Amino acid sequence: MPKNCSNDIQAVIAHWDQVIASGNTTASDELKTLFGMGRVVHPDDVVGTLCNPLWNWQELSPTSGGMNSASKSAPASGWGLENALSAWANYSSSTLPGRE
């Protein structure tokens, strides 16, 4: 996986960790809903489900879609948390079966 993608994925994972560790159930519920899993009770189940397709993303090239913006490759630092969170949530809620 290109460095720019891994930086963005790490940013999203760190954000999830921060929200879950905060104990803020409203923020946690908002994240779960953003990813199409608002009815899932346990955050561990949500994160586990999100990580499964992550292995498929490792096969993406910098221009094959995923977290690219307008078919442009991200800089080495990635697009940043906001874009990465939106892209991953969109992928999850629109592509994975059984999402809300």
For residue 100, being part of any structural domain is answered with: no
Residues 6+ apart with CB under 8 A from 29: 38
Round to whole Å and give the CA distance between 86 and 83.
5
Has residue 86 been placed in a domain?
A: yes
Report the domain count for the chain.
1
pLDDT in tens, 38-95: 888 888 888 787 776 666 656 655 555 544 555 677 777 888 899 889 888 888 877 7
Q: 66 lies in a domain?
A: yes
Structural domain harbouring 46: 3-95
* Cβ–Cβ under 8 Å, residues 3 and 76: yes
Residue 26, in any domain of the structure: yes
In this predicted structure, what is the pLDDT of residue 2? Answer: 61
Overall pTM > 0.75? no
Residues in the chain: 100
Cα 1 to Cα 93: distance, rounded to the nearest angstrom = 22
Q: Above 60 in pLDDT, residue 34?
A: yes
Q: How far is CA 55 from the centre of its chain?
A: 12
